[in-house]
Structures are given as C-alpha cells and as structure tokens.
Structure 1
Amino acid sequence: MSELIVRQKGRLRLMTLWLLWQSPKRGIDIIDDINKMSWGFWKPSPGSIYPLLNKMVEEGTIERTSDGKYKITAKGIEEIKEILPIKQINSIEDSIQELEGLAQFFKEVEKNKLFEYKERILNAVKEIEEAVKGA
C-alpha cells in the first residue's frame, strides 16, 4: 500500500472520530461532512468509509446506535486526545490560531482548485478586516 493511501486512511479515521465526537452520524453524513469540510476537494467513497466504520465498531472506538447512526465511545475520545488534541474555539487567541492554520492550508492548495471559491474567500477576508478595523 502506498504511503499516500496510508496517510489518507489515517486522516479519514481521525476526521471520522472528530465528526462523531461532535454528534452521532450515519456513514453518508460523515462522507458529506468531510466533503463540505474540504470544500469539495475530498469526498471519501462508501467503499472506504463503511469498512472503516465496521473496523472501528469492532475495535470499540465507536458504536452503532439503534437508529443506525454511529457514535464515539470513551475509547474513541481517548484516541483523539492522544493524536489530535480536541480544541474548541473559546477565545480570540484560539480564533487567530485557526485563521493562521487556514492561511497555511490555502497556501498549500493547488491554485486552480481555489479559483471557484476565490470570491467567497475574499469576502470572508474583507469581513475579518472590517471587524478588526479601529481596534
């Protein structure tokens, strides 16, 4: 298995745990949420998400509820804490760190993929500039 595929599977696992930490979800909801979070750059296939969910249920990091949704367990929360610290935006400092991370993300994304989102990104930047004017 190539290194890239292994890294993607690792990211998918972490993102799935993080999404389930937020709220219980169906597999299709996880696929859609990842697609939205990546602004359409990554949409996991059902052939990658459902085997992962089954494996995670077997491992005890998530469980399936009676309504068919998946939810994170204490073991799953512990895995996130060890690998990707859970951090909610609770302060201006947290927000600035999030913005700095987004800026780095945009620098690394292929420019042709940003083109269709350019106006939305620039509008968000303008809104932030307006919010901090005169501070």
Structure 2
Amino acid sequence: MRRGEILRILVLAVLAKGEAHGYEIRSRLSQMSQGYIKLSPGTLYPLLFILCREGLIEVSKVREKGRKKKVYRLTPKGREYLASRLNTIIEVMKSATSFLEDVARLLEDMKKEDYKPT
C-alpha cells in the first residue's frame, strides 16, 4: 500500500470520529498515533482538497472566535470507501506487526551476542 493511500485512510478515519478543521485533524492524527504521525500542512491541505473533489469529504466554512475556518466532515461515500478498505488496513497492520516482531527478535539476538557495531 502506498503512503498516499495510507494517509488518505488515516484522515478519513479521523473524520469518521467527527467533523474537524485542518489543525484538529492534524492534532487528532498525532494523538491517535501517539505522536508518530505528524502531517505537515503542506501534506494535509492538498489531500483534503483531493478528498473533497472525490466526494469522500465535504467542507463548510464556519466562523469561530471571529475567524473563518473550514470544517471537514465525512460523506456517505467516504464512509463506504473507508469500510471497503478495512481488510486492507488489517492486512497492513498484520504485515507491520510481523515485521516489527522480526526486528525485535533480531535485536534480542544481537543483545545475546553482545553485538558491537563497527
């Protein structure tokens, strides 16, 4: 699965929990990933534009504390898309878990051998 597809699914998953403006999406994603995923505005906003154009999310402008903000929400089409990718997400998670278990075993073996990098 490509990075772009993963980011698309992650943003849609954030919006499945409720509508949000751009900064909230970035914050929720960082929180959900325990700080491992930090999207820059330069990555997030073009992706939001694409998702809107594809009809997976919709945007409305609201005034909050005297400022205009764009609030994004998942559309029914976006929910269907996210649901259709569930098996793919599960497979990616299984692959990542397997890979990380292999890395952990390697590190344990290196520790047992008193490995010293050259």
| TM-score calculated relative to the size of structure 1 | 0.57
Q: Does 1:37 align with 2:41?
A: no
Partner of 1:54: 49
Q: How far did residue 66 of structure 1 move? A: 2.8
Higher Cα radius of gyration: 2
Deviations 1:86-107 (A, max 9, x none): xxxxxxxxxxxxxxx7xx85x8
Match of 2:81 among 67, 79, 82: 79
Q: 4+ runs of 1 displaced by more than 4 Å?
A: none
In structure 2, how many angstroms separate the alpha carbons of the residues matched to 1:66 and 1:46?
A: 18
Larger strand share, 1 or 2: 2
The Cα shift of 1:76 comes to 0.3
Give 3-state SS (helix, strand or coil) of 2:58's partner. strand
Q: How far has the Cα of 1:22 moved from its partner?
A: 1.1
User: What percent identity do the matched residue pairs reach?
Assistant: 32
Aligned length: 90
C-alpha deviation, 1:7, in angstroms:
2.1
Work out which of the residue numbers 19, 23, 33 in structure 1 matches 2:14.
19
Ranked by relative contact order (alpha carbons within 8 Å, sequence separation 6 or more), the top structure is 2
Tell me, which stretches of 5 or more residues in structure 1 are unaligned?
1-5, 86-100, 112-135
Aligned-pair CA distance for 1:75: 0.7
2-structure distance, mates of 1:41, 1:75: 28
Hey, what's the Cα distance between the residues in 2 that align with 1:108 and 1:39? Answer: 17
Amino acid of the residue matched to residue 100 of structure 2?
Answer: E
CA distance in 1, matches of 2:40, 2:60: 22
